[in-house]
Amino acid sequence: MGKFNFRLQAVLEVRAKKEEAAQRALARAWREYRRLLHGLNETKRRLEEASAPAGGVLDVTEQQHLALYRGALAERLRLQEKAVRAAAAAVEAKRREAVRARQERQVIEKVKEKRYGEFLREEAAAEAKIYDELTLYSFMRRRVQK
């Protein structure tokens, strides 16, 4: 039996590496998204704590400082929400790239499977031909010997 040689093996390997790179980029995007989301949740928690009524009476200066702190947290919250939306969009874009890379690799793999099936059929036909010729040769030899 001959050896199967897929002429597009190099293309398949390149596409597999491209898919792996896309998967790694997607994982990095997810990590960044989760990091930003954690920061956003932490800022929300701090803002809720600062907005809760204090246990004691605050003088005017403390109230002004608390108002400034709340304003700074609100601004940070707005910026973090924007960053989280951008990170979510980046994750979606990386996911689409990973899906496209996987589909491109699968196309070549299907071609490889088809070619391998053809190779097996050709090998089986060649082997059957050899057996038929041997059988015919054996039959003719016995006939001549009788």
Q: How far apart are CA 12 and CA 50, in angstroms?
A: 57
Angstrom CA distances, 20 to 16, 17, 24, 96, 124, stand at 6, 5, 6, 14, 36
Give the number of other CB atoms < 10 A from CB of residue 33: 20
Q: Where are the domains of the chain?
A: 9-105
Structure tokens at 51: 């907005």
Q: What is the pLDDT of residues 74-120, one digit of tens each?
A: 999 999 999 999 999 999 999 999 999 999 999 999 999 999 999 99
pLDDT of residue 145: 80
Name the 3-class secondary structure at 17.
Answer: helix
Q: What is the pLDDT of residues 2-16, one digit of tens each?
A: 899 999 999 999 999
- Residue 37 sits at φ, ψ, to 5 deg, of -65, -40
Structure tokens at 37: 């989301």
> Counting beta carbons within 10 angstroms of the beta carbon of residue 94, is it exposed (0 to 12), middle (13 to 18) or buried (19 or more)?
buried
Q: What is the pLDDT of residues 55-73, one digit of tens each?
A: 667 788 888 998 999 999 9
pLDDT of residue 87: 98
Structure tokens at 4: 């199967």
Structure tokens at 133: 């010729």
pLDDT at residue 41 is higher than 80: yes
Confidence of residue 142 (pLDDT cuts 50, 70, 90): confident
pLDDT at residue 54 is higher than 80: no
